Chains A and B, each alone.
Chain A
C-alpha cells in the first residue's frame, strides 16, 4: 500500500498570498496518477487536479499541480477567500487507492 504524507498539516496565510502544499509518497506513484481534492466543512470533496498536473473542469488557473515519482505539489498562486479549506492528495496508480492525511489552509 502506498502511504501519502501531506505537509504541512496546517498552513496559515492571508488572501493574496501563495500556498504551496506537499504530498510525498512512500513509493513511486505509477504513471504519476496523483489527484488533489478540496474539501470545505460539511461538503463533499471537489476534484481539483488529476494526473499530477491536469486541472479538472472549472478549476481556475491560479491552482496548479506539479511533481512526479514520489514528490508532488499543489500550488495556489494567489489565495482567494474561497480557497481556505482542507486539501487532500490521492494516488490511483495502484490498489488500494489511498489518500493523504490532508493540509488545512486557514486564514492568518
Chain B
C-alpha cells in the first residue's frame, strides 16, 4: 500500500524556519517525482514545489521561490521542504503528493502537516 507520511509542522514566528519531511513507503520512491501542495485554513489548494525522481530538477511557485528548498533522499525514501523567512501567509496544511509518471497530477497524497506562522 502506498503511504506518504508528513511530519515537522509546528508553530513558528514570522521570519523563522522549519523543515518538513515526508516518509514514503509501499512503492519505489526513487522512480517518482513528488510535490508539496499546501492548503491555507478554509481555502483551496496551492502547488508549492516539485522535484524530479532523481532530485536533479526542482520547481517552485513564485510565492515561495528563494525562501523554500525542496530536496529528497532516495536512500531514506524521504522528501523534504526547508522553509525559511516564513510569513503569516505560509500558514497552511502542507501535503506531499506523488506524481503520476512525472506528469504533474497526483495519485497519492499524505495526510498533511500543519504549519502555523504567528507571533
Chain A residues within CB distance 8 Å of chain B: 33, 35, 37, 43-47, 50, 56-57, 88, 90, 92-93, 95-102
* Nearest B residue (CB) for A86: B44
- Would you call A44 and B110 a contact (CB within 8 A)? yes
- Would you call A47 and B106 a contact (CB within 8 A)? yes
CB proximity of B51 to chain A, nearest CB, Å: 13
Known contacts A99-B46, A100-B44, A92 near B105 by CB under 8 Å = yes
Complex CA distance for A93 and B107, rounded to whole angstroms = 16
**A residues in contact with B103, CB < 8 Å:** 33, 50, 92
Interface size on B (CB < 8 Å)? 20
CB proximity of A87 to chain B, nearest CB, Å: 11
- Would you call B109 and A97 a contact (CB within 8 A)? no
- Would you call B105 and A33 a contact (CB within 8 A)? yes
**B residues in contact with A102, CB < 8 Å:** 44-45
- Would you call A44 and B45 a contact (CB within 8 A)? no
Complex CA distance for A85 and B90, rounded to whole angstroms = 25
**B residues in contact with A92, CB < 8 Å:** 103-105
* Nearest B residue (CB) for A6: B44
B37-49 CB mask vs A (1 if < 8 Å, else 0) is: 0000000111100
- Would you call A96 and B44 a contact (CB within 8 A)? no
- Would you call A99 and B47 a contact (CB within 8 A)? yes
Judge if B25 is at the interface, Cβ distance under 8 Å.
no
Complex CA distance for A44 and B44, rounded to whole angstroms = 12
- Would you call A47 and B104 a contact (CB within 8 A)? no
- Would you call B105 and A88 a contact (CB within 8 A)? no
**Considering residues A43, A96, A101, which has the most beta carbons from chain B within 10 angstroms of its beta carbon?**
A96
Known contacts A96-B47, A99-B47, A102-B44, A90 near B59 by CB under 8 Å = no
Judge if B111 is at the interface, Cβ distance under 8 Å.
yes
20 contacts between A and B (CB under 8 A): A33-B105, A35-B106, A37-B106, A44-B95, A44-B109, A44-B112, A46-B109, A50-B100, A90-B45, A90-B105, A92-B105, A95-B59, A95-B104, A96-B47, A96-B59, A97-B35, A97-B50, A99-B46, A100-B44, A102-B44
